[in-house]
Amino acid sequence: MDATTGPEILVLGDPRLRVHCDDVAQVDERDLEQLAAALAGAKSRLGFGRAIAAPQVGIARRIIVVDLGAGPFAVINPEITWKSDETFELWDDCFSVPDRLVRVRRHRSISLAFRDRGFRRREWPRLPIELAELLQHEIDHLDGVLMVDRAIGDDAMRPIELRGELVSPLAPPHRLSLPRIAEAARCIDPVFLGSPQFVCEPLAEAVGCRLTLKVETVNPIRSFKGRGADFAIATLVARGERPALVCASAGNFGQGVAYAARKHGLPVTVFAAEGANPLKIARMRGLGAEVRIAGDDLEAAKQTARRWAAETRARFLEDGFEPEISEGAGSIAVELLAHGDGFDAIVVPIGDGALINGIARWVKAAAPATRVIGVCSRGAPAMARAWRRGPGAKPEPAGADTIADGIAVRQPIAASLDDMRRTVDDIVEIDDAALIDAMRLVHAHAGLVTEPAGVAGLAAVIAARAEFAGRDVATVICGGNTTAEQLAAFGIVPGPA
């Protein structure tokens, strides 16, 4: 085996491609490694390729290895449990038929049951079209069926040289880059990387599922926002840009921008709303930002910040819009999945969308059967409502009346919503009382001091106990900037003397 090409891939005419593969009773890591190497080698040679089936390297076992850009994962003993009635035609390609394209018909969507690398049973419902056709092709291989067997119509085969002309992506390119998320996971300021991640057993027992907490409050700004801000500002500086920076923030994003800008010697002005959390205001100023109060909510502060940036020719950083901010937040998902945990769901708070979009982008490439569920405040439903209206609907503002200032979004960002529609499985709403209950529970069982927005994911898991019962679930505790007075009002710790 050549290290640059991987194991040999069998081609049309080899009888081993016509074997109906046996179910796997126990995973052999050597099989997975061989398949991953073969896929990587073929992609290196050809410039394309997202999956490979075991019989293509002479292994008569029901294994598929897929790499969607975030590393290989295994689909073992796949079973199609549902097929859409709607079908479509496409020009298909295959490593084992290397000289031609074949026109075939596939179901537009399917649902799968399978085993993952840890041999845990997984369900992957309603695959998007680009993955549905891919998995149908690979499952055919497991049954000894090649794409030439499914050729339809006259002139159904064309030379592979026409691939660039005939084979079109079934989904448009994503705004967020998987390589940049991987880069962020390596190069973000180490004070934000490697955050604590553990199964909180008392809390898991209380909510009735295996619950992993990813704790993003043990860093200099007590929130996840430092990841995206650091990556975005480092990217600007790497391009040779050293502008004055302007942003609007309820407090956590402003702290992240101030912390990263100070490291690079860049001036920062943060616009915040009247009534913003005084602890967050003090910390932004303490990190060197000039803080200006403008408007009665975050959206008003954002509009003022945008005008001021235009007038002063400063660089306006908009949380939820800048791809690099979401990509930095996506490093959380890289860490979450690095230990091989087979999560059934990851439940994430939604503010402007940077956190959930970064996480969902990586998860849907590295472990796409994992559901990504977003959580909004019932008192600030603009993002949830806009997402439910679907593609093409104009984002409309809604009220923002909630104690969770970090997710009190009134006007959705269109680009952020577009990202969400491609990767987020569901969005739920939670009320303020549930947020306070979650703050109390995580303090009692994990010793964590949090803020309302920071526990929205946990609150949603608690509220949907029946849905998550017995499942393997993760959530991000994403902020902990709460004053002593607020904590005392919530009945969590005694107030100041």
Q: pLDDT exceeding 70 applies to what percent of the chain?
A: 98
Nearest to 250 by CA among 439, 496, 491, 452: 452
DSSP 479: B
Number of domains in the chain: 3
Residues 237 and 312 in one domain: yes
pLDDT in tens, 24-55: 999 999 999 999 999 999 999 988 899 999 99
User: Which whole-number Å values give the CA distances from 213 to 338, 377, 449, in the listed order?
Assistant: 14, 20, 14
Residues 141 and 189 in one domain: no
Residues 123 and 212 in one domain: no
Among 316, 348, 382, residue at a domain's last position: 316
Check which CATH number belongs to the domain holding 410 and give it: 3.40.50.1100
| CA–CA dist 284, 471 (Å, integer) | 39
pLDDT in tens, 308-348: 999 999 999 999 999 999 999 999 999 999 988 789 999 99
The answer, yes or no, to whether residue 1 has pLDDT greater than 60, is: no
Looking up tokens 């109390």, which residue turns up? Answer: 440
User: What pLDDT sits at residue 4?
Assistant: 55
Nearest to 446 by CA among 470, 477, 415: 477
Residues 189 and 230 in one domain: no
What's the per-residue H, E or C state across 203-248?
Answer: HHHHHCCEEEEEECCCCCCCECHHHHHHHHHHHHHHCCCCCCEEEE
Residues 342 and 433 in one domain: yes
Please work out, in degrees rounded to the nearest 5, the angle formed at the alpha carbon of residue 137 by the alpha carbons of 131 and 138.
Answer: 90
353: left (phi over 0), alpha (psi -120 to 50) or beta: left
The answer, yes or no, to whether residue 189 has pLDDT greater than 60, is: yes
Other C-beta atoms within 10 Å of 194: how many?
Answer: 11
The answer, yes or no, to whether residue 178 has pLDDT greater than 60, is: yes
pLDDT in tens, 407-420: 999 999 999 999 99
Residue at 10 is within a domain: no
| CA–CA dist 262, 384 (Å, integer) | 35
User: What pLDDT sits at residue 333?
Assistant: 98
What's the mean pLDDT when you consider all of the chain? 95
User: What pLDDT sits at residue 3?
Assistant: 45
Question: What token pair was written down for 336?
Answer: 């979450």
Residues 70 and 195 in one domain: no
Among 287, 316, 345, residue at a domain's last position: 316
User: What pLDDT sits at residue 35?
Assistant: 98
CA end-to-end span of the chain: 71
Catalytic residue flag (residue 138): yes
Residues 149 and 289 in one domain: no
| CA–CA dist 254, 277 (Å, integer) | 12
Which of the following is catalytic: 29, 79, 89, 138?
138
Residue at 472 is within a domain: yes
Question: Which residue segment(s) compose the domain that 272 sits in?
Answer: 225-316
The length of the chain is: 497
Among 296, 316, 336, residue at a domain's last position: 316
Q: How confident is the model at residue 153 (pLDDT cuts 50, 70, 90)?
A: confident
| CA–CA dist 355, 334 (Å, integer) | 13
Out of 4-18, 260-274, 368-382, 470-484, pick the least confident: 4-18
**Residues 315, 309 contacting (CB under 8 angstroms):** yes
Residue at 121 is within a domain: yes
Residues 184 and 162 in one domain: no
Nearest to 481 by CA among 457, 452, 456: 452
User: What pLDDT sits at residue 496?
Assistant: 60
- Please report which residue ranges of 410-477 form alpha helices under DSSP H: 414-423, 432-446, 456-463, 465-468
Q: What are the residues whose beta carbons fall under 8 Å from the beta carbon of 285, sequence distance 6 or more?
A: 291
Q: What are the residues whose beta carbons fall under 8 Å from the beta carbon of 137, sequence distance 6 or more?
A: 51, 92, 94, 106, 147
Question: What token pair was written down for 8?
Answer: 């040999």
Other C-beta atoms within 10 Å of 26: how many?
Answer: 5
User: Which whole-number Å values give the CA distances from 283 to 221, 303, 497, in the listed order?
Assistant: 8, 23, 22
Residues 416 and 333 in one domain: yes
| CA–CA dist 100, 355 (Å, integer) | 42
Q: What are the residues whose beta carbons fall under 8 Å from the beta carbon of 192, sequence distance 6 or more?
A: 219, 224, 226, 227, 230
Residue at 497 is within a domain: no
Residues 36 and 108 in one domain: yes
Rounded to 10°, the helix 382-389/414-423 angle is 60
pLDDT in tens, 440-458: 999 999 999 999 999 999 9
Residues 392 and 443 in one domain: yes
